[in-house]
Amino acid sequence: MNQTSNAFAAQPRFGRKSGRALPRGRQANDADHADLRALLPEGDLRRDLLVEYLHRIQDAKGHLPASLLVALAEAMRLPMAEIYETATFYAHFDVVDAGETPPPAATIRVCDSLSCVMAGADALAAQLEGLGDDVRVIRAPCMGQCDRAPCATYGKNVFAPASVEELSAAHEQRAVHPLLPRYKTLAAYHAEGGYGVLAQCRSGAFTREALIAELDKAGLRGMGGAGFPTARKWQAMLQQPKPRILAVNGDEGEPGTLKDRFFLETEPHGFLEGMLVAAWAIEAESAYIYLRDEYPALHHVIRAELQALEQAGLLQGLQVELRRGAGAYICGEESAMLESIEGKRGLPRQKPPYPVQSGLFGRPTLINNVETLYWVAAIADKGADWWLSHGRNGSKGLRSYSVSGRVRQPGVKLAPAGLTARELIEDYCGGMAPGHSFAAYLPGGASGGILPASMADIPLDFGTLEKYGCFIGSAAVIVLSDQDDVKAAALNLMKFFRHESCGQCTPCRVGTEKAAMLMAQPVWDEPLLRDLAQVMRDASICGLGQAAPNPLLSVLERFR
């Protein structure tokens, strides 16, 4: 019997009690197993690839038939409950039970996060409702296209800014395949001296100690939001036993954040070289890239360029796997991402132990963000002094500010760290959009709080905003004008957190629901909201619940 038939071998047909012809619960028939075999790879099925298998079924069928989930459970020797709870955890999977009507073949997702709502997403969604019964229109959280708002997707095709005419045409043509960005290929990157740093590392011209010292001198910090010193994290990894793993966090789901998309759409090999340098530095045996499902074109890009690296001999035995998210903001939290890579629900882990000690599959794991690794290669190439030559208002280095909202020229702005919001708007965004006056801004995305325009001269960097109840996070700056309702903006953000709460802990699961309900009232119950916010901050397991009250508290403190 070959490996394929082993993976889908018939399960025992008798239960524990003698005389029972079949085990309890639902069973798959031969047709279900044959259908599943046609969709999944040959050989034994891996437990950590469960989410990938669910993607294959969803892509092929347009939904997840319960009969195929039963067949998958039998093939993987897993309880049906484990398959079902994973499939229903992620927003991009549609589980359809026996007797239920499957969703239409076509799905249009319209972003309902703050920047897109400000750009008319509500009206767009309403107009799309008339396209017909063969397409469903659903609201979805941030898709990372905030600078091109409003955003909508048809199949795997992203439209930003989206219009009814474009989406109607896409539906008529059944245009489901992603349009690839024009990016710098391996050949073009090589021609400009790319992978020179990696060559120096592997040849011994650049030692691990020298590389980490250079990153330490530059003061590079994690760009995913937490801002932990990169050199310290790498040094801690080298103190852990082998085998070691590198995990790349490319799940930027924070409303307003689009910087990782920018780097991957323009110069993916800048990131990939940084990843290979990091893997070399910590002596990792394998690397996992976790990229959000909302970037379908980039999955094609990264997969193609990894193949090019393999063919060019640049991977040198490093096992690199690209993993696909499935619509869960919580998987941007590092330990929830690890759970998802292992094929489970993205539930944050209790700490300690920390991922550096026990991460992916229980092994020491270095977790770095896409942008962090991009700057690793740049700093190693140009030196820490080059990095330190940038900066304003006492800060050092560069930041990629994701700017959206009421500015004339939104987008990712590579600018000196420590820039103020006023400088960012005037010097890098062409000023406010016509007809709008600067009123407020979010310095760090949905969870970073809200500040009035009168406080727009605070340097935007790590450690400068905390005393005002805000933080820089991933530097997602959303600009509001005199035409925007700050209370409505805060409610939009709380609804986002309510939708994206993983549900593991009560303070976050119930707290976001209760807060959204109270904030929807014409008059806010301030004592109750403050009490609720304190409980969420003190008792939530991870940063989602702890930071969700920040916009609410900002409004109470600064927009009375």
| Structure confidence by residue, pLDDT tens digits, 500-528 | 999 999 999 999 999 999 999 999 999 99
- In angstroms, the CA 426 to CA 234 distance is 38
pLDDT band at 226 (very low <50, low <70, confident <90, very high): confident
User: What mean pLDDT comes out for the span 361-384?
Assistant: 96
Taken in order 331, 332, 337, 339, is the CA torsion positive or negative?
Answer: negative
Residue 19 has pLDDT above 80, yes or no: no
User: What mean pLDDT comes out for the span 27-52?
Assistant: 93
The pairing of beta strand 244-250 with beta strand 365-369: parallel
Predicted pLDDT at 23: 52
User: What mean pLDDT comes out for the span 173-180?
Assistant: 82
User: What mean pLDDT comes out for the span 340-358?
Assistant: 96
Predicted pLDDT at 61: 95
At 112-166, the pLDDT tens digits run 999 999 999 999 999 999 888 889 999 999 999 999 999 999 988 999 999 999 9
DSSP state of 420: B
User: What mean pLDDT comes out for the span 77-88?
Assistant: 96
Q: How far is CA 381 from the centre of its chain?
A: 28
At 425-463, the pLDDT tens digits run 999 999 999 999 999 999 999 999 999 999 999 999 999
Residue 542 has pLDDT above 70, yes or no: yes
- In angstroms, the CA 288 to CA 365 distance is 10
Residue 9 has pLDDT above 80, yes or no: no
Burial of 532 (0-12, 13-18, 19+ CB in 10 A): buried
User: What mean pLDDT comes out for the span 10-36?
Assistant: 65
Residue 351 has pLDDT above 70, yes or no: yes
Predicted pLDDT at 557: 95
pTM over 0.75: yes
Single out the residue of 251, 302, 261, 497 nearest to residue 402, CA to CA: 261
Q: Report the share of the chain in percent with pLDDT over 70.
A: 96
pLDDT band at 12 (very low <50, low <70, confident <90, very high): very low
